[in-house]
Structure 1
């Protein structure tokens, strides 16, 4: 890919970004790049560090000006959440202006490092943002366009490399990852930031979240999950919560002083089956430890126990006429209404009458017609046949009196 240099001349100039394969083109307000009037003032957009690497992931620390810097430029950490593409810029350092106002030019095309259409990165890159440097501008073109005129201190010949990320919806970020090179003659060497330029601290470690999950359970029961969070030089501070997919299945709990909390899977939020749950830790001290999400844990959730079915006479049964029973299966507090079918069994001596598979309504009720029977006392049992949520259950036998007329 041939790259045409685009120079960032000053704070007052607009910074134009060219798009490469899979990238976007957007203009950024250069005022967003500027903070203060001295190189000792930190640029708030400098969020992490940058490495130049070969295809096998090994770092490149020196080279010649007329050759590409390396195979890839790789950020040490996320630059802006949700971005999918990245580009490399080279800026001339200056002791007289803030780091955010240094002039520079785009030195690479735009590389898609994540999502659909992402290109392969260097070995071991993982989810880190990266830029392919194939066809990028060698440093000699930047040095020619932006010659260093510094004569004192550690600024002479020093250029800043900046990787900026972008997305189709968010445009190009002002945030960037940075590294510095010193140009001497026809070669360059990786170097420290010039004296007085605040350095980007290494990112805080990602928290280590260790849940104790416990065994599976039945629908309608609760399950406690103890969580211990570690990472950083001091105890982790923040909150934890359980999720199944994007649905919260517990309340949010703050960690105690030792970095622990106990979460309870709420009653009835997980239906029977294999249900996957994860812990989301949200840090309130990201300078010490960053937020993290665990891998999902699979719970076997068994069917729950429904209340025993009940019945009452809604139309008297006699020896001459059929009657009706209203059968109900109550809804347990906080859980779903039992649905499905019931069977009604009547017994008197050796005689048994079975009325099968009557479907319950959405409110858990059904009216069952009982044919005329011999007068006397009958024992009635209702059998709830269960559902995908509840186990079968029978009522205790109860007496039905069949009148002569």
Structure 2
């Protein structure tokens, strides 16, 4: 069996993908919009040593396998990347072939794979995880995220809205759900580059504090706050949310932090936020979730080792139950899954338009990690393998919620 045919069968590649290999073999239509090239024996060695997404990622990140064309389109064709659809007789033959390849061409994981140390979701290990993903290059993130520097799901008013318009709409939706008004105090945990903090200060006159474990983010955000003339109202600290000493906030926003907390730590996380918001104050929790409560929380090998170490995703019902059991009265919930697919598509386009600069800035391997990660994440939202939920809760003031009779933010 020729190599291109082997790879085609292993990946379950559809009819719109062309495969070629270093032995001169090919499979699939010549005019396919996506071309996957197996450049070296090491590509199959990676697959043999780690079948599934991790082996594919290792081969692609190291350049031993190339995707020519749209990465999202390619992954959509390879979404069933496994051996389970191949008849047993052929499967045994393929495993034997790949086993010989591995023996003859032993490969080590690429250096871009991370291995963290210490107790899972301890402060020190969380710091390592955040540094791995965020303390890369602010310039690199600017190319991908655009001027808003918002690294969370945007909210698209229309399909024609720009990424910047959609990120403004997201921040404003959060502000309106929280009922922000001039003179209020907001705590934004996991604040990133300060987008929500600056929006609350600039648009609502709110005194806003943001905290992030990323030193790069904090330094960038503080400069942006000064440049925007918002220093009297806005502040971003390089700090663990667990170390915030102030309490009595009128509102708390958590936009894209919950994914880093860990399922076992979520009860303590919500208790901490409950203690920091005053009676009548609101919490808006915005995070990626599983589509249900039945799947394991830990992410797959590629995301865990290359992108978000120690990231964990739970179902939306789990989030709602924990907020409720902590003492928050849950008042509103919505799924923005399609909006995140649109957001990721925009980030993919930004990366491609700055590809050469990105490679010079962070190296080709890391740029390849991001190309694969953004495309795979977009596909995950397309296919409803992951979702994005906003859950709004209020800490009751006795029995009073101080909420409007109907959601004002839906107007």
Give the TM-score range, shorter chain.
under 0.3
TM-score by length of 2: 0.23
Structure with greater contact order relative to length (CA < 8 Å, sep ≥ 6): 2
- TM superposition score normalised by structure 1: 0.24
- Say which structure is richer in helix: 2
